[in-house]
């Protein structure tokens, strides 16, 4: 069994890169009402997510107007392309024939999002918008053909780095579009030592080495272990362990509080 450790600064940079690629436009982050003078104006419907992005940039309504119109219905199809995060991540790529698509839900005070992996043939705008009909505030849209876990669409070179990157990517994808009370992972900070404010509670003997690490097991499975500190009160240290099967990047994940007030 081999173990490889990774510098905290490296993992933080990976997280920051993913967050940057998932940053929403202002109009999707905080949609506004559709201007009344656009009422009744018909525009050609884009046939794919790529065309939808071009529609935002080069013609038709601008992105603020489209997002505003969609926000009135609750959930709406996002122009964000989650797969963009894979362009520069080491060891990972999107499987051929699949697309990552995203939806957003916004109110005046909060918001949430969801990412799905779907076959390319079912990734047209018309197909994806069909899922909006059955959605509601508590039931996100699920497009036809969507895989149960978006990580089933991810493949890689099975290197130790690829597994650690996949663990961070999963959590950033799960937090996509979250605002206010829907935020969880965004309150966690990656750590490799016990924060000073928790030293008296935890001590340094209980948690000696919090360096992110990956174990490659003899049977080809991989185990990722890293630690975070939740900075939203009450402060708590969490241990994250992801176990990857031999044939995919959809892991079994454990996130457990190991210190502090665990309420």
C-alpha dihedral sign at 6, 8, 9, 10: positive
8-64 pLDDT, tens digit each: 999 999 999 999 999 999 889 887 644 444 444 444 555 555 555 443 433 333 444
- Other C-beta atoms lying within 10 Å of the C-beta of residue 216: 18
Do 150 and 116 meet the contact criterion of CB atoms below 8 Å apart?
yes
Mean pLDDT check: name the lowest of 47-51, 95-99, 229-233: 47-51
Highest average pLDDT, of 1-5, 57-61, 205-209, comes from: 1-5
171-203 pLDDT, tens digit each: 999 999 999 899 999 999 999 999 888 887 775
Average pLDDT over residues 255-259: 90
Enumerate the H helices of 6-93 as residue ranges: 8-21, 26-29, 49-58, 63-71
Looking at residue 206, its pLDDT comes to: 67
pTM recorded for the entire structure? 0.83
CA 116 to chain centre: 10
114-150 pLDDT, tens digit each: 999 999 999 999 999 999 999 998 899 999 999 999 9
CA distance 241 to 135: 33
Q: How many CA atoms lie within 13 A of 158 on its CB side?
A: 10
| Cα distances (Å, whole numbers) of residue 31 to 46, 49, 68, 81, 146 | 20, 19, 5, 18, 26
CA 248 to chain centre: 18
**Residues near 67 by beta carbon (within 8 Å), at least 6 away in sequence:** 25, 27, 28, 31, 32, 76
pLDDT higher than 90, residue 73: no
Tokens of 241: 């362990």
Looking at residue 35, its pLDDT comes to: 46
Helix 63-71 with 49-58: angle, nearest 10 deg: 120
What are phi and psi for residue 212, nearest 5 degrees? -55, 140
CA distance 51 to 189: 36
Do 34 and 69 meet the contact criterion of CB atoms below 8 Å apart?
yes
Enumerate the H helices of 116-241 as residue ranges: 125-130, 160-174, 199-202
pLDDT higher than 80, residue 6: yes
Tokens of 260: 């502090």
> What residues does 17 pair with on adjacent strands?
none
User: If you average pLDDT over every residue of the chain, what do you get?
Assistant: 85
């Amino acid at each position: 069994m081999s173990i490889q450790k990774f510098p905290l600064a490296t993992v933080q940079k990976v997280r920051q890169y993913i967050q940057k690629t998932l940053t929403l436009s202002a109009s999707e982050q905080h949609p506004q009402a559709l201007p009344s003078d656009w009422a009744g104006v018909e525009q050609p419907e884009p046939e794919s997510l790529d065309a939808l992005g071009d529609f935002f940039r080069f013609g038709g309504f601008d992105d603020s107007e489209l997002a505003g119109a969609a926000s009135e219905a609750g959930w709406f199809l996002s122009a964000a392309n989650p797969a963009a995060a894979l362009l520069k991540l080491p060891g990972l790529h999107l499987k051929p024939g699949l697309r990552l698509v995203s939806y957003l839900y916004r109110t005046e005070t909060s918001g949430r999002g969801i990412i799905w992996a779907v076959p390319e043939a079912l990734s047209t705008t018309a197909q994806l918008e069909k899922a909006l009909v059955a959605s509601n505030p508590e039931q996100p849209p699920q497009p036809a053909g969507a895989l149960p876990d978006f990580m089933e669409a991810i493949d890689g070179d099975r290197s130790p780095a690829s597994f650690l990157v996949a663990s961070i990517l999963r959590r950033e994808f799960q937090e996509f579009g979250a605002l206010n009370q829907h935020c969880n992972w965004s309150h966690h900070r990656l750590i490799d030592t016990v924060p000073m404010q928790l030293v008296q509670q935890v001590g340094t003997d209980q948690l000696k080495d919090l360096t992110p690490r990956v174990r490659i097991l003899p049977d080809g499975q991989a185990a990722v272990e890293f630690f975070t500190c939740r900075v939203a009160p009450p402060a708590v240290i969490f241990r994250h362990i992801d176990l990857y099967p031999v044939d995919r990047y959809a892991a079994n994940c454990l996130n457990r509080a190991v210190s502090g007030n665990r309420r």
